[in-house]
């Protein structure tokens, strides 16, 4: 079974989103986190299903939210590089 590894910077991305939505509504934060965890499960279940956007980096967009999960496959590990807003420069993950 594949392991999901979320890099520290990707965790920081998620925390920034949570902080932003917490200012709006705890309900929106809960909805975001539920969608995020659902997409993590989808990635683990079928990691090659989602399109390659940059070299070997794949992106799975979070339903109902303007964010993409940027990840790579490494042997038995799915490594989450970033969780970025779709309006941000996708090249950001390369610096990680």
Tens of pLDDT, residue by residue over 27-38, are 999 999 999 999
Distance CA 92, CA 67 (A): 14
Domains in the chain with CATH codes? 3-95 (3.30.2310.20)
pLDDT-derived band at 92 (thresholds 50, 70, 90) equals low
Tell me the pTM: 0.88
Residues near 69 by beta carbon (within 8 Å), at least 6 away in sequence:
36, 39, 40, 43, 59, 60, 61, 62, 80, 82, 83
Write out pLDDT tens, residues 2-47. Answer: 899 999 999 999 999 999 999 999 999 999 999 999 999 999 999 9
């Amino acid at each position: 079974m594949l392991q999901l590894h979320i890099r520290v910077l990707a965790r920081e991305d998620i925390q920034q989103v949570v902080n932003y939505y917490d200012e709006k509504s705890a309900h929106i934060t809960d909805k975001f986190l539920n969608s995020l965890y659902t997409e993590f499960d989808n990635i683990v279940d079928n990691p090659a299903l989602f399109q390659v956007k940059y070299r070997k980096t794949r992106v799975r967009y979070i339903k109902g939210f303007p964010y993409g999960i940027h990840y790579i496959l490494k042997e038995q590990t799915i490594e989450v590089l970033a969780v970025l807003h779709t309006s941000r420069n996708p090249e950001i993950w390369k610096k990680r």
